[in-house]
Amino acid sequence: MSREEVFNLLVECRLFVMALLPSVFRLRHDVKYKADGSPVTAADFYIERQLSEWLKNRIPGLGVIGEESYKGDFIDADSYVALLDPIDGTENFCSGLKEWGVSVGIWKGGRHLGSMLLMPELSESLISGEQVDYMRSRISGFSSSFHDDIPNGMRDADEYRVTGCAVYNIYNVVRGAFCRFYNPKGAYAWDFLPGVMLALEHGCEVIIDGERFDGRFLDPNRKYRIDIRSGHDFHIG
């Protein structure tokens, strides 16, 4: 697939997810808890199942790595691969907050073809290739997963926010509404990699595990520490 074809696919994907919302909202309060104590709703599974099937019908041979279904299965890196987080910020979602998002990224042979970040209840989204009106900000966003480095980062920040949604955080760094997003505890690739690829596209500095990130596809079986800074020097002060 060409980048234009992937762009058009992701535009359709955005519309498809928005069309799922009536069913998604009906499943909002069907909540269970994972072994780590984090919530997962029936809506998480519903979106992942529906979106995986939709993508596979449009990309023959596609392998899907989704947060709720991936069990460490072998994925052929030379074929098409989609990274999918059906609901990032599930704690927000099941609590009735609007700061939650859907994340999709598509690769072929380790080469990134396109990504989408979508926050359905905020009516905000970004797809690879779309333009951004960059903002001015002093605000740093921090992960809601506590780590001892976070208070130090907050102390040094001019302003900070903790929103509980990586999709929302990364989207705001990309558009300059946050000057930084920092997660020192770590997250899996489906949590952040599609957004990180958009951050690179828009000139942001991305540090993964203490090193400048080169855009390679990451192992989905482990967590990574993330530090993303806006590539547009709009910092005030």
Domain of 213, in residue numbers: 139-229
How far apart are the C-alpha atoms of 35 and 45, rounded to whole Å? 16
Residue 133 in domain: no
**In the chain, % of residues over pLDDT 90:** 88
Question: What's the structural domain count of the chain?
Answer: 2
Per-residue pLDDT, 72: 83
Asked whether residue 2 carries a pLDDT value surpassing 90, the answer given is no
- Asked whether residue 48 falls in the same domain as residue 88, the answer is yes
Higher pLDDT, 189 or 3: 189
By three-state DSSP, how is residue 144 classified? coil
Give mean pLDDT, residues 162-182: 96
**66-121 per-position pLDDT tens digit:** 999 998 887 776 789 999 999 999 999 999 999 999 999 999 988 999 999 999 99
Query: Residue 172 is encoded by which pair of tokens?
Result: 């705001």
Task: Please tell me whether the overall predicted TM-score, pTM, comes out greater than 0.85 for this model.
Answer: yes
Looking at residue 22, what is its pLDDT? 98
Residue (of 179, 180, 174) closest to 203 by Cα position: 174
**Cα–Cα nearest to 22, from 116, 104, 121:** 121
| Mean pLDDT, range 28-48, rounded to an integer | 95
Give 201-227 pLDDT, tens digit per residue. 999 999 999 999 999 999 999 999 999
CATH of the domain at 153: 3.40.190.80
CATH of the domain at 71: 3.30.540.10
Are residues 143 and 29 part of one domain?
no
| pLDDT tens column, 130-171 | 999 999 899 999 999 999 999 999 999 999 999 999 999 999
Q: Are residues 218 and 158 in the same domain?
A: yes
83 with 159, same domain? no
Task: Tell which of 87, 102, 127 closes a domain.
Answer: 127
Q: Which of 78, 103, 127 finishes a domain?
A: 127
Q: Which of 72, 100, 127 is the last residue of a domain?
A: 127
Do 87 and 167 reside in the same domain of the chain? no
- Report which DSSP code applies to 43: H
Do residue 90 and residue 161 come from a single domain?
no
Residue 237 has pLDDT above 70, yes or no: no
